[in-house]
Amino acid sequence: MRILIVEDDKKIANALKKGLEQENYAVDAVYDGEKGLVWAIARDYDLVILDRMLPGIVDGLNICRAMRDKGKHTPVLILTAKDKIKDRVEGLNIGADDYLTKPFSFDELLARVKALFRRPKKSLGTLLKADNLIMDTINLKVDRGDKEINLTPTEFKLLEYLLRNQDRVLNKQEIINHAWDWDANILPNTVEVYIKYLRNKIDKTKFGRPLIETIRGYGYKISSPKSV
């Protein structure tokens, strides 16, 4: 999982980066709102941690609002010294997923990060669909047509990542970053092996059209019905 920290206090930002990296997350840290805005919009993160009060014209709320306006539903955790209820409500109302007031313990922040990662993306909810395949991310169940498909945990995570990014070509490194733990020693050909496992389970001819496409030289994708 990849996290972006936008925090102008370099001591806090670097401490959070080090602590989260020790928990096997990949972490980028930037120290101003303008750069944070560009990275949050242009790059693919699983979580963004924003300081609310950043120097300059772009603060944490501006970044969160811009992300939502651009259709990015990446979970956002806002850090702030403002502890009044109206301040927390304002942040949540513009699209933040959680709010943590300073000073805070790293253990509490880590618990909130883990809780946010357990939530399904708002844009897609708990049921992910492609053609006649349905994945239930709450009950960990996959059906295609009238048949239940039994997947291993890794196969499930890989399929979920493909379904949450329909119509987007995902390269092998992106898939490794999102479907495997960072401390796992995964080689690019491991992705090929697991794609083959998935195809053998969900892309049998009797189910309908093949779902997983190989884009030679780039990676893999699942296309939504409207684009087929």
25-58 residue pLDDT tens: 889 999 999 999 999 999 889 899 999 888 878 8
- Structure tokens given for 159: 């399929």
Selected residue with higher pLDDT from 204 and 74: 74
Beta-sheet strand order (sheet of 47-51)? 26-30, 2-6, 47-51, 76-80, 98-101
Q: Answer yes or no: is pLDDT of 114 > 90.
A: no
Q: How many CA atoms lie within 13 A of 49 on its CB side?
A: 29
Do 16 and 102 share a structural domain? yes
Alpha carbon of residue 147 to chain centroid = 29
Which of 118, 137, 153 is a domain's end point? Answer: 118
Q: For all residues of the chain together, what is the average pLDDT?
A: 85
Please count the structural domains in the chain. 2
Mean pLDDT within 95-107:
89
Examine the domain organization and report whether 114 and 132 are in the same domain: no
Show the domain range for 43: 2-118
Q: Give residues with Cβ within 8 angstroms of 216, minimum separation 6.
A: none
Q: Evaluate if residue 82 carries a pLDDT over 80.
A: no
Confidence class for position 13, pLDDT limits 50, 70, 90: very high
